[in-house]
Structure 1
Amino acid sequence: MTMDFDFDLLVELTEACGVPGYEDDVRAIVQREFADAVDEVRTDAMGNVIGTIHGDSEYSVAIAAHMDEIGFMVRHVTDDGFVQLDPLGGFDARVLRAQRVTIHTDDGDLTGVIGSVPPHTLTEEQQSKKDEVKNVYVDIGRDGDAVSELVSVGDLATLEQTTVEMGDCVTGKALDDRVCLFSMLEAAKRIEDPAVTIHFAATVQEEVGLRGATALGVDIDPDLAIALDVTVANDVPIIGSEADAVTKLGEGTAIKLKDSSVITSPKVHKRLKTVAEDEQINYQLEVLPAGGTDTAGFQNTHGAKPVGAISIPTRYLHTVTETANCDDIAATIDLLSAFLATETGTHDYML
């Protein structure tokens, strides 16, 4: 299919490595892309990047998407040279079997594999043992002495995967949340002479507790905040129930009503709906039973704020095969751009 956006930039963002607290490679891309799109770029002590377009009024809007991906930190190297990991972010350990990983050391990257032994060689007790990250061992193909010289406690590790087109979709690692970070960057490039000041925030450490956004809620102190994140698209046969799908691929961007961290401001999500309908942008409503986003980080950290959220429906979250529909990505960029272009600072979002 024909991409209505910069696919090469999306690939660069998703294939970059940046676990919570160590988003350096992603931050460099964001800074580069902001350079010609905004009036001012700054980075704070946590590593959040804020690109500001100054508007005609003091009213300010914060747009946030997080840079970090789930990953690991090395916690131990065995005498035999196997590497044990501590998770950075929420992992379903079942998806780690037989995965390839990259261990990021001071002297360069190393390829490793999380092995999976043949099931017929396991005892019944071993077969019934619950998968846990603490029981994962990474094999980097070297003996113990070599590994101890190459790998140190505190080194980082990420799952290895490329991003590719797949039919009407894109699939790869770290679409959570790089596909939304990408959408924010694309929207920033479209904004000219806004009526309000817009702070585009690429946040850190969302996967370990919305930490970057919470700090920015104080530092930026916006009048309105909109966060972008992926959301569950469980529209697959194993789920069965349409109610449990949350969203569906190909049916448009998602306007969040709630998740377990936030109930979005009714007047904000109603205006998002109005803009989508006026601009004929396909959308669906999101009621997410579990999970949180940067939206919550802005809602009440420096006094009560009106907040909203736009989500990109994504299958297979927190795996290396995260999958989003290209039309939904384009719709997200369109909705965010149209919302900001029509934000005057005079809309009443108070209850």
Structure 2
Amino acid sequence: MGDSDLEFDFELLRELTETDGVPGYEEDVRAAVRRELTAATDEVRTDAMGNVVGTVEGGDYEVVVAAHMDEIGFMVRHVTDEGFLRLDALGGWDPRILRAQRVRIHTREESLTGVIGSVPPHTLTDEQKEKEQQVSDVHVDLGLPSETVEERVDVGDLVTMQQTTVRMGDLVTGKALDDRVCLFAMLEAAHRLDDPAVTVHFVATVQEEVGLRGAQAVGVDLDPDLALALDVTVANDVPGFDAADHVTELGEGVAVKLKDSSVITTPKVNRRLRDVADSEGISHQLEVLPAGGTDTANLQRAGGAVPVGALSVPTRYLHTPTECAHVTDVAAMVDLLSAFVESETGEHDYSL
């Protein structure tokens, strides 16, 4: 484990993060999730949207724990006469980080490697230097003749970042830690759970990155008594930010979300999460996120009012191919989620 003595199934985390699955096309991730939940829960099912639900039977009180499967990516919107690809974004990309990245194009028959083109600094014009970049400006070079590209690539084919997941000191870095690192934590907690007092639905949701869509269906279909969502959050503990502006910091534990721009979590759920963390000696920090949202919002209100909580893994460089999370924070999420669910009796008062 390097600098850490934690038990940590890095191979499962690597499988989840290196597997490709953009919004609406999560099938390869779904296969891994179904395998893990089949071994950990009493029943596994997939709904019409592609959400996977693994249920551990307990009492009548029902708890949903959710983490999303999808990662941000692209769809091919045009193939030029010269054989280059133009892209449409699936999720929120910062166009500044796209240049010179290696990507994978998923066609019906195969996966192709490509690169997003970048103009060398030697030939940049002043206009190009000053222009605000857009996803629509980038092109993918496949290194193939235009006739071959036209034969092998269609509009609508999917594009993901070609990236590996590696250990870097006490951190894990790679693509799609948003939200596969929390998906990993949920699966680990599911494997730990034994004979709960309440019924627990472990849900791997779809299409979070394009509007929390899978969670909305889950909120209606399962109609839980309590819901917890797991996602990453901003860790801006890097040069250029004052300590007062840090949303979270790496290595300080799992974050208990108080609010983001889509939700204010239920105060009594927050309080119990913090109390459980204190009693179990689990490192944690509080999260106030100025912008952004997670599945928590739709779980709170899609099927009527539901008390909600949210746990987050602090992550640097979100929505890039080099997202970074600290292994102790991931372990803390597993520990707190497990302890919270195991101690849920259905008799706690979460009313306002």
**SS at structure 1 position matched to 2:60:** coil
**SS at structure 1 position matched to 2:315:** strand
1:10 Cα deviation from its structure 2 partner: 0.2
Deviations 1:299-336 (A, max 9, x none): 11111100000000000000011000000000000000
User: Which residue matches 1:264?
Assistant: 265
- 1:162 corresponds to which of 143, 161, 164: 164
Deviations 1:143-162 (A, max 9, x none): 21110001100000001110
1:5 Cα deviation from its structure 2 partner: 1.7
Distance in 1 between residues matched to 2:75 and 2:6, nearest whole Å: 36
- Equivalent AA in structure 2 for residue 225 of structure 1: A
**SS at structure 1 position matched to 2:180:** helix
**SS at structure 2 position matched to 1:106:** coil
1:238 Cα deviation from its structure 2 partner: 2.3
Aligned pairs, number:
349
Distance in 2 between residues matched to 1:319 and 1:255, nearest whole Å: 23
2:313 is the counterpart of 1:309: no
Does the 8 Å contact 1:119/1:127 carry over to 2?
A: no
- The 5 Å alignment of 1:167-246 reads 167-239=169-241, 241-246=242-247
Distance in 1 between residues matched to 2:320 and 2:244, nearest whole Å: 23
Distance in 1 between residues matched to 2:248 and 2:351, nearest whole Å: 28
User: Which residue matches 2:248?
Assistant: 247
Distance in 2 between residues matched to 1:319 and 1:48, nearest whole Å: 25
- Equivalent AA in structure 1 for residue 247 of structure 2: V
User: Which residue matches 1:5?
Assistant: 8
Identity across matched positions, percent? 69
List alignment gaps of at least 5 residues for structure 1.
none
User: Which residue matches 1:84?
Assistant: 86
1:3 Cα deviation from its structure 2 partner: 4.3
2:49 is the counterpart of 1:22: no
Distance in 2 between residues matched to 1:237 and 1:288, nearest whole Å: 19
- Equivalent AA in structure 2 for residue 238 of structure 1: G
User: Which residue matches 2:95?
Assistant: 93
- The 5 Å alignment of 1:125-164 reads 125-164=127-166
Distance in 2 between residues matched to 1:44 and 1:62, nearest whole Å: 15
Deviations 1:45-83 (A, max 9, x none): 00000000000x210000000000000000000000000
Distance in 1 between residues matched to 2:301 and 2:48, nearest whole Å: 21
CA RMSD of aligned residues (A): 0.7
Does the 8 Å contact 1:316/1:323 carry over to 2?
A: yes
Q: Which runs of 4+ in 1 moved over 6 A?
A: none
Distance in 1 between residues matched to 2:158 and 2:12, nearest whole Å: 24
User: Which residue matches 1:110?
Assistant: 112
User: Which residue matches 1:296?
Assistant: 297
Distance in 2 between residues matched to 1:3 and 1:151, nearest whole Å: 44
List alignment gaps of at least 5 residues for structure 2.
none
Does the 8 Å contact 1:253/1:328 carry over to 2?
A: yes
2:74 is the counterpart of 1:67: no
1:171 Cα deviation from its structure 2 partner: 0.3
Does the 8 Å contact 1:227/1:310 carry over to 2?
A: yes
**SS at structure 2 position matched to 1:94:** helix
Deviations 1:194-232 (A, max 9, x none): 000000000000000000001100000000000000000
- Equivalent AA in structure 2 for residue 223 of structure 1: D
- Equivalent AA in structure 2 for residue 277 of structure 1: D
